[in-house]
Structure 1
Amino acid sequence: MKTYYVYLLTNKNKTVLYIGVTNDLQRRVGEHKVGLHPGFTKKYNLHYLVYFESYPDIKAAIAREKQLKAGSRQKKEALIMAENPEWLDLAADF
């Protein structure tokens, strides 16, 4: 049974947030960290995993991703603060 993840990345200054979905959190965050794919996360150096949730199916994960993307920055920050108040890089050991 696969697990799907909704995750939030930020940069060193915590000024930009990115929300994504993946079925392999360690691989995907690693790709972001090395800038493997050109785009938003590479441009803004979004290398710090500060929050994630897991889901048993892709539809639920995508629905949650859309819900989070539609929410305010304040709501996203509240999620991070509830689980990771120091905004530590949860993928530091990946």
Structure 2
Amino acid sequence: MDGAYVYILKCADGSYYAGTARDGLQRRVDEHNAGSFGGYTALRRPVALVFSQWFERVTDAIAAERQIKGWSRAKRKL
């Protein structure tokens, strides 16, 4: 699998987090909810998936993630 998902999570505190997942989207969401890697979402659990999009190329997913991270909170809210 060469592609990846870009995704947006809504955190328990109402904030939003954007990331990419290469090894399965649900697995990555589960890792966020388990606090597996610490970081932003670890203290804002549970999280819920609110958006995802598949990209054939990982580089395209990373570019989309960077673009989303530049959006305002209102725009991420969709």
Using the size of structure 2 for normalisation, the TM-score is 0.86
> How many pairs were matched up?
77
Q: Structure 1: 5+ residue runs without aligned partners?
A: 79-94
With normalisation by structure 1, the TM-score equals 0.73
More strand by share: 2
Write the letter of the residue equivalent to 1:70: G
Q: Which ranges of structure 2 fall in alignment gaps of 5 or more residues?
A: none
Identity %: 36
Residue pair 1:16, 1:46 contacting (<8 A) in 2 also: no
Calculate the aligned-residue CA RMSD, in Å. Answer: 1.5
Q: Distance in 2 between matches of 1:33 and 1:72?
A: 24
Task: Please list every run of at least 4 consecutive aligned residues from structure 1 whose deviation after the TM superposition is greater than 6 angstroms.
Answer: none
Higher relative contact order (CA 8 A, sep 6+): 2
* Higher gyration radius (CA): 1
